Structure 1
Amino acid sequence: MTALTADQSAEQLPRPTRLSDVKGWFFTADQLLFDWFLARQEDRSEAGDLLELGAYMGKSAIFLGARLRAGERFTVCDLFDSPAEDASNSKEMKKSYATLTRRAFEANYLAFHEELPTIVQGLSSVVRDHVEDGTVRFAHIDASHLYEHVHGDILAVRELLTETGVVVMDDYRAEHCPGVAAATWQAVAMEGLRPICITGTKFYGTWGDPEPLQKALLVWLESRGDIWHEVQFVNDAPLVRLSAKGAKEPAHPVSRHKAGAAVRPAARAPKASAARTAPRARRGALRTVALNVLPPVVTKAIVAARKRSRTAGR
């Protein structure tokens, strides 16, 4: 697939009919854990916003956006089409994400939600200029794979999280991302990050107390019966390891492009718990895009695409 340019027609933007149509890597085990952590936070009325560093085409962002609660803010930070400020990061981004574009991300996200999240287009190192310290309850780090950048992302998120906030590290053990592994385990060994659990692709931790989370997680895992798990110890601290091969995925948000769909975009997955609350009224999509300095030609293309989609669905 060739990266889309601003003058290409809106019809060439992605039109996913379901979450699995969105390009990216977001496996069942991690979908289940995202859903479990977010549902537990809601059940316990834990306040805070959502944050994703590195969005690719929006797969995990779409999933997170369906769990946004009234009065909360979801911030997505990514370079998208912008060049990195250093040569090594530009080379790494070009090799890993040659098709990455902001327009494709927005088209994917708006297929499932009425409004875009707050978008910060730039290096993840600027995120603290846009998000207040101590306000984030759940953060997903999946940006640069370079050690220096990942280490900085972890330190930034440490300041942004609430006392009980959870951070998720992607590619913490991938062979092509040794910098992520080094930064993750350095944070555990030297910077107070406490592991909760791991899957084959993501690390889950907190700078708070992991014990209540681990106990509740093990109870939930036992109740399901379709998720293999065990408890290992790292430096005498417990760590839950799990695999969800063959397990049923959690409910997904519904796409406006789904055949016969009678729901509006932003239709949410069925509640995972009785404590789920209704979404708050947020900024309109166009205003959000404008605030993020989206070029006018791109705005016109997206608006035109949305109008055509709505007309076709009548």
Structure 2
Amino acid sequence: MEFSRLFRIYQEHVENQIEGWFYNHDILLFWLIDFIQKQGGFRGDTCELGVYKGKSAIALGLLARADETVFCFDAFHEVPQAVAEANILRCCPELGKRLVCIAGDLRHLEGPPGMIERGGLRFLHLDAVHDHPSVLNDLNNFTPLLTGHGVAVLDDCFDPEWPGVPTAMAEFCLSPEGRHIRPFAASRAKMYLCARHMVRTYQRCIVTSGLIRDMSLERVLDGSVLRCFTNWPAPPETLLAQLDEG
């Protein structure tokens, strides 16, 4: 799917009709990560934790290949499951039975869910309960399901209302379970993470795409994160040189 079509669907059928929090910067980054994965031949299902009314899950549905499943986990206590499913399928009618919604409290999950194959996810969006223990539990339970080329997206990593999100990310990345995972890019709302060996690949692809003009590199943990849509941008050639230097 071309980005222009994805953006038009959101503008015409989602933005003013489905309540939620999914902004243009991340619509672009979701599309770009998906494009990079498809260009690289990276396959796998997609998954979202914390669906609400389905606003961001629609992007996963629109971008899914014909043989890929979209898994959606939520307690569905704020919005009935049927409402979220109807919103997603209205915009993604071709999904059909490939949309799998699972109701339950993720805070009680003590390991990766069995309905998803380990190493079976290429894209994971974590947007469920935002306190430190819950985010850490979600990271521990769901990142083992990522493929070696998969991406995990952590919502509200920079919102002062949710200080537990970045602290949980840091604890996870410094733990034995998460030492192979590192953040590689940041929007104004979300942090994008992948396996260490893929960090430079995703960063270089984002820079050379030319789709995001305002970017810079920031030291985070023991690596660098590509700050997207920053107020202090660096020229693309400078960014590429910095990536080459390590």
Q: Distance in 1 between matches of 2:31 and 2:46?
A: 13
> What residue number does 1:162 align with?
147
Q: Distance in 2 between matches of 1:136 and 1:208?
A: 17
Structure 2 letter corresponding to 1:241: R
Name the SS for the 2:122 alignment partner. strand
> What residue number does 2:34 align with?
38
Q: Distance in 1 between matches of 2:170 and 2:193?
A: 11
Q: Distance in 2 between matches of 1:218 and 1:17?
A: 29
Work out whether residues 216 and 230 of structure 2, in 8 Å CA contact, stay in contact via their aligned partners in 1. Answer: no
Q: Which has the larger radius of gyration?
A: 1
Matched, 1:123 2:105: yes
Q: Quickly say closer, same or farther: Cα 1:187–1:127, change in 2 above 3 A.
A: closer
> What residue number does 1:80 align with?
76
Q: 1:17 Cα shift?
A: 5.8
Work out whether residues 158 and 207 of structure 1, in 8 Å CA contact, stay in contact via their aligned partners in 2. Answer: no
Matched, 1:102 2:98: no
Q: Distance in 1 between matches of 2:89 and 2:230?
A: 29
Q: 1:215 Cα shift?
A: 1.0
> What residue number does 1:233 align with?
219
Matched, 1:216 2:205: yes
Matched, 1:138 2:120: no
> What residue number does 2:195 align with?
207
Q: Quickly say closer, same or farther: Cα 1:144–1:236, change in 2 above 3 A.
A: closer
> What residue number does 2:229 align with?
243
> What residue number does 2:244 align with?
none
Q: Deviations over 1:88-128 (max 9, x none)?
A: xxxxxxxxxxx422232122112212226101111232761
Q: Which runs of 5+ in 2 are unaligned?
A: 1-10, 232-246
Work out whether residues 112 and 144 of structure 2, in 8 Å CA contact, stay in contact via their aligned partners in 1. Answer: no
Q: 1:50 Cα shift?
A: 0.4
> What residue number does 1:50 align with?
46
Q: Deviations over 1:182-240 (max 9, x none)?
A: 111222333222111001110001124211111111111xx23x642111112451210
From 147, 156, 161, the counterpart of 1:176:
161
TM-score by length of 1: 0.63
TM alignment of 1:229-308, pairs within 5 A? 229-243=215-229
Q: Distance in 2 between matches of 1:244 and 1:235?
A: 19
Q: Distance in 2 between matches of 1:208 and 1:187?
A: 14
Work out whether residues 36 and 205 of structure 2, in 8 Å CA contact, stay in contact via their aligned partners in 1. Answer: no
Structure 1 letter corresponding to 2:89: L
TM alignment of 1:8-27, pairs within 5 A? 18-20=13-15, 21-27=17-23
TM-score by length of 2: 0.79
Which range moves more in the overlay, 235-244 or 43-52?
235-244
Aligned-residue Cα RMSD (Å) equals 2.0
> What residue number does 1:59 align with?
55
Structure 1 letter corresponding to 2:101: I
Q: Distance in 1 between matches of 2:36 and 2:122?
A: 11
Work out whether residues 141 and 168 of structure 1, in 8 Å CA contact, stay in contact via their aligned partners in 2. Answer: yes
Q: 1:54 Cα shift?
A: 0.7
Work out whether residues 164 and 208 of structure 1, in 8 Å CA contact, stay in contact via their aligned partners in 2. Answer: no
Structure 2 letter corresponding to 1:123: D
Q: Of the two structures, which has the highest relative contact order with CA contacts closer than 8 Å and spacing of 6 or more?
A: 1
More strand, by proportion: 2
Q: Distance in 1 between matches of 2:112 and 2:80?
A: 19
Name the SS for the 1:36 alignment partner. helix
Q: Deviations over 1:123-151 (max 9, x none)?
A: 23276122111100000000011221111
